[in-house]
Amino acid sequence: MAIREILEVPDPRLKTVSEPVTEFDDELKLLVDDMFETMYAAHGIGLAAIQVGVPKRVLVIDLQRPDETAEPEDCGDGECGHKHYPVINEKLVFINPEILAPADEMAAYQEGCLSVPDIYADVERPATCRVRYQDLDGNSHEEDIEGMLATCLQHEMDHLEGILFIDHLSKLKRKMALKKLEKLRRAA
């Protein structure tokens, strides 16, 4: 396994429309392993293959939800005041995903993206949807999803079409976001 380089805006490769996966082989499994490792190292919750420069319809997601039924962990800072629950890891892999029946009802979540670092903005998307996808062995699945997972999956699916979450913002807001990113880069 290896951590791969994450492409960032304005890399033109992020605008690529990704190709369907046809071979469910070891190369695909290695790509998915690397994508998880890369995503965890960058503290992300989702990653599309094109973000590591591979134009294939492959997504990985792990929402890393806090387990609020578990004992909070000691973060070492006695005055921090937050409860640090251990996270539940659930590695989800979506190959050749398709959205079926998106809901009319919309939900807005604050989104960020490893390819647009340090920029966050509210994006409205269908609150629930049905997704059809293949797993690493090529088997087909269909599932109804909602909440964070629905938002995250739709964000990642946009990457397969060469669309970034900032493309959903108004022209002015997108311009401001890119300017802020430029400023942060200069300061770094």
Near Zn ion by CB under 5 A: residue from 14, 59, 95, 113: 113
Pick 138 or 145: Cβ nearer Zn ion: 145
DSSP string, 13-51: GGGPPPBPP---SHHHHHHHHHHHHHHHHTT-SEEEGGG
Catalytic annotation, pick one of 8, 90, 156, 182 = 156
- Residue 112 CB, nearest distance to Zn ion (Å)? 8
- Residue 115 CB, nearest distance to Zn ion (Å)? 5
Cα(64)–Cα(71) distance, rounded to whole angstroms?
A: 16
- Could you say whether residue 153 binds Zn ion (CB under 5 A)? no
- Residue 161 CB, nearest distance to Zn ion (Å)? 12
> 160: closest CA among 9, 8, 21, 10?
21
Cα(159)–Cα(141) distance, rounded to whole angstroms?
A: 21
Could you confirm whether 156 is annotated as catalytic?
yes
Phi, psi of 82 (to 5 degrees): -85, 155
Pick 64 or 138: Cβ nearer Zn ion: 64
Catalytically active residues, by annotation: 156
Q: Where on the chain is the footprint of Zn ion (CB under 5 A)? A: 113
